Amino acid sequence: MEEIKIFAPASVANVSCGFDVLGFCLDPVGDEMIIRKIETPGVKISKIVGQKLPFEIKKNVAGVAAEAMLAACPLKFGFEIEIHKKIKAGSGIGSSAASAAGAVFGINQLLGKPFSAHDLIQFAMEGEGLASGSPHADNVAPVLLGGFTLVRSMNPVDVIKLPCPSELKAIILHPKIELKTMHAREILKKNVSLKKAVTQWGNLAAFISALYTEDFDLMSRSLVDEIVEPMRSLLIPEFEKLKTAAVEAGALGFGISGSGPSVYALANGIQDTNAIADSLSSSINQVGIDFEIHISAINNQGIKVISCK
């Protein structure tokens, strides 16, 4: 192959009880990227559509991730990248992760897949480090592996793909305000009480168990964030009102997607999903904020190849 076009999906990180370790992949929302081989060694970003982002490699998450990968695999030729951004930067649904993961996925495909999907996580994390100030994998892992993922360790990188009930659906509400991950991290406390930490560990373990056993009641009881949500929710307009609307409409749980401002709800089946989406839309309309709402199955594949030649 000389050229590949891919779909790099959006994702939800943290998932309430799993700050920096838990995430899942969405289906209908994502970027498209075209990557082709060129004679000149290195990486070149030739086109960006949809967002005003830097073309300079060291200032672009896709470029940083691609360079990290090529440092581990020196070549006599290089790659040109086109980025068609459909995930708004600062939206909280993994805009930077889609670009970083998409770049390394596409290059790996053109090279004949010398790296596994798990190997690619390490390279994509470098792009995330540029976006948020520190490398993390809770968005890039589900984008590369699909479905739900758990980051057990960052050094060395150890990520587990989790099962997911087919009936589980996600509703994403994106208020059209921008909230940078780096800024949302600045308000977090550096220390938490032992009591809150123990509660959070219990919720995370129970939620993972619920994915394996398809126990939706346990899942609902576990989608509680004792540590991050109380602070970050203050940055999101009418968060508590939206949470109440989602839960009353049948949501298993409701929380902040990544660092926000997007919020998410999980639901058991499409009937509840539509009711929750309608309830959230009605609630935010009363506030007068522009928004987008997406209904998604859990994308168990992750990045998809659109075409190649």
Average pLDDT, the chain: 93
Determine contact, residues 174/88, Cβ cutoff 8 Å. yes
How much is the average pLDDT of 63-92? 93
pLDDT of residue 177: 76
State the Cα angle at 175 between 171 and 178, rounded to 5°: 125
Q: Which domains does the chain have, with CATH numbers?
A: 3-163+299-308 (3.30.230.10), 168-297 (3.30.70.890)
Q: What is the pLDDT of residues 137-172, one digit of tens each?
A: 999 999 999 999 999 999 899 999 999 999 999 999
Catalytic residue selected from 181, 226, 229, 273: 181
Peptide bond into 261 cis (omega under 30): yes
Peptide bond into 156 cis (omega under 30): yes
Q: Which two tokens stand for residue 111?
A: 């090279």
pLDDT of residue 302: 97
Query: Which candidate, 185, 11, 4, places its Cα nearest to that of 98?
Result: 11
pLDDT of residue 74: 86
Query: Which candidate, 116, 113, 107, 91, places its Cα nearest to that of 173?
Result: 91
How far is residue 96 CA from its own chain's centroid? 9
Q: How confident is the model at residue 30 (pLDDT cuts 50, 70, 90)?
A: very high
Catalytic residue selected from 126, 128, 226, 229: 128
How much is the average pLDDT of 5-30? 96
The larger pLDDT score, comparing residue 147 to residue 180, is at: 147
For the four alpha carbons of 137, 61, 32 and 82, in that order, the dihedral sign comes to: negative
Determine contact, residues 229/16, Cβ cutoff 8 Å. yes
80 is catalytic: no
pLDDT of residue 289: 82
128 is catalytic: yes
Q: What is the pLDDT of residues 226-250, one digit of tens each?
A: 888 888 888 888 899 999 999 999 9
Q: How confident is the model at residue 224 (pLDDT cuts 50, 70, 90)?
A: very high
Amino acid (one-letter) located at 79: F
Q: Around Cβ 98, how many Cβ atoms within 10 Å?
A: 33
